[in-house]
Amino acid sequence: MQPTRVRWILALLLLAITSLTYLDRLNIMVAAARIAEEFALTEVQIGTILSAFVLGYALFQIPGGILVDVLGPRRLLGLALLWWSMFTILTALVADLPLAQWMGISWAFIVVRFLVGVGEAPALPSANKMIGLWMAPGERALGNGIFIAGLGLGGAVAPPFVVWLMETWGWRASFWVTGLLGLPLLLWWLTSVTDRPEDHPRVNRAELAHIRGSGERAESPTTPSSTPWRLILSRADVWALVGSYFLAGYTAYIFFTWSFLYIVNVRKLPVARAGFWTMTPFLAMAILSLVGGRASDWAAQRWGKTWGRRLPVMSGMSLAGLFLITGSQTSHARLAIVFLALAAGLTGFATVNWWATTVDLTRRFAGSLAGLMNTAGNLGGVVSPTLTPYLAERFGWETALAVAAGTAVLAGALWIFIHPDRPLQEAVMGTGAHHGGKR
């Protein structure tokens, strides 16, 4: 009997959902100029509106991670998708909401975008938990690579798509359309996904045997017990994982926040062409996330999980640092952008290993650890957009990008302290195992 491939359809659905997270995240960055013009908002007010999403997203990473362990990824991601899609649509209607009359238009935008961030916060921990439940151990990094590729794909598609929507129907349409895109994905998610492959009607015994072929028992998607934070935080390699992801977040957020302005203001490309060149880091990230996931799974099978996860991160982040420095010092504008795109892609190549390792270390509570880790990554993302222009103004862009290169290399170096092959004590964590299967 040939195994079915339901797990890969699930991974592609997660890719579509994570792509939408970045489409709904970046749409306001593209529409900000039109919104500021219509409502006479200052740059400070626009900056606060843009930061509101990041604040909501960062603050609710840990609660979202805990909830995915309690409720299960299917239920929580469905609720989250409905929540952030609804508030994305409400962004188009802010001026008509009573909130705008009570608080003023600027604060109304801030509240709505904060709530979009709250809704998106559980998305990646839920996707990570689902991969841990559905993928065989030798496929988990690739599964993570698929949903992480969605971040790059969404980042690449967002600017031209939102610009087209604005030019065709106005800025409000960009929020209506991107918000409504969540509804068919929600329907697909709720009608075709179960938390465990054992419960899916289309998973045959051959696919289930492949997923459980390592002898791992089927984990419960939910846990009634509280997250064992004392045990988790007592591990030095957990702190190394979290600290290294903070540094990686610092580097990655430069591409998400400053790539367009760097290309226009520093490399002096026309705005019309800059839109295309801004896509290249995100496309590289999408492609190399998939390559990184496959490479990590192969290396883990060949050398064990510890070095199988370490080597892609240490090599990927070191090369990302090298390409950042090379790109900053290259005089040819387009060649510099290619180097910077490679640096972005290599961060994606490495990133899949952080997410896979949360499952390696704490499979039952992977959502909670992923939420903690992603909080650190987003805190790095809060520091980076502010510190980078300060360094660039005071010391030049070469120095600003050299600092980002240094954080990338240090993020990789910290992996010498991380041991994915040493999961937390199951006797303390609890197995939460179910022995049910296909009959």
- The structural domains of the chain, ordered by start, are 1-215 (1.20.1250.20), 227-424 (1.20.1250.20)
CA distance 341 to 285: 8
> Is 218 in a helix, a strand, or coil?
strand
364 — alpha (psi -120 to 50), left (phi > 0) or beta?
alpha
Query: In this structure, what are the phi and psi dihedrals at residue 410, rounded to the nearest 5 degrees?
Result: -65, -35
Which secondary structure element, helix H or strand E, spans residue 374, and what is its range?
A: helix 366-395
Q: Please name the residues in contact with 93: beta carbons below 8 A apart, sequence gap of 6 or more.
A: 172
Give CA–CA dist 195/213, Å, rounded. Answer: 19
- What's the residue count for the chain? 439
Residues 6 or more apart whose Cβ sits within 8 Å of residue 227: 66, 69, 365, 368
pTM for the model: 0.85
Separation of alpha carbons 143 and 12, rounded Å: 9
Scanning the structure block, which residue is given the tokens 């090599």? 315
Write out the chain's pLDDT in tens, 439 residues.
899 999 999 999 999 999 999 999 988 888 888 898 999 988 778 878 888 888 899 899 999 999 999 999 999 999 999 999 999 999 999 999 998 889 999 999 999 999 999 999 999 999 999 999 999 988 999 999 999 999 999 988 988 888 889 889 999 999 999 999 999 999 999 999 999 999 999 999 999 999 987 556 656 666 656 778 888 998 999 999 999 999 999 999 888 777 777 887 788 887 667 767 878 899 999 999 999 999 999 999 999 999 999 999 999 999 999 999 999 999 888 899 999 999 999 999 999 999 999 989 987 788 899 999 999 998 998 888 778 888 988 999 999 999 999 999 999 999 999 999 998 865 344 444 444 444 3
Count CA within 13 A, CB hemisphere, residue 39: 24
